[in-house]
Amino acid sequence: MSQISQQEFEQLAREHVPFVGALGIQVEKIEAGQATIRLPYRDDFIRPGGSVAGPVQMALADMVMYAVVLSLIGRVELAVTTNLTCNFLRRPRPADLIGHGQILKLGKRLAVGEVLLYSEGDPEPVAHVTCTYSIPPHPDIAR
């Protein structure tokens, strides 16, 4: 069972991560250790050549991984990205982007996961992203 609901996560994105909240993400699924988020297409996401810009893709991947991590640890707003590596595989066409993420390893201080990004209606991924998140110390854990 997820430690954060779809509605809680969308609200967190809108209110506490304003740039990403302004993108209009739509959480399709959050389960323990997994998340799927849709980024509705906008004309201003397109770069020369007709491709969805790389920073837009990376923003979606980062939010997917944030959802994955919070699905396991609950609403810990200060969990932050420490590393994000994006391999752009194919040119995403002008369509909604869908990110599917999963946890690979969850430790006390770090979480590692991966995200695959897809253009809506295309079965082949457009990007593969690995992320590491730093998890702040919990007040109930002795140092």
3-state secondary structure of 20: helix
pLDDT of residue 141: 34
**Dist. CA 70–CA 105, nearest whole Å:** 13
CATH number at 6-134: 3.10.129.10
pLDDT of residue 139: 64
Per-residue pLDDT of the chain (143 residues; tens, 9 = 90+): 999 999 999 888 888 887 877 889 999 999 999 999 999 999 999 999 889 999 999 999 999 999 999 999 999 989 999 999 999 999 998 999 999 999 999 999 999 999 999 999 999 999 999 999 999 986 643 32
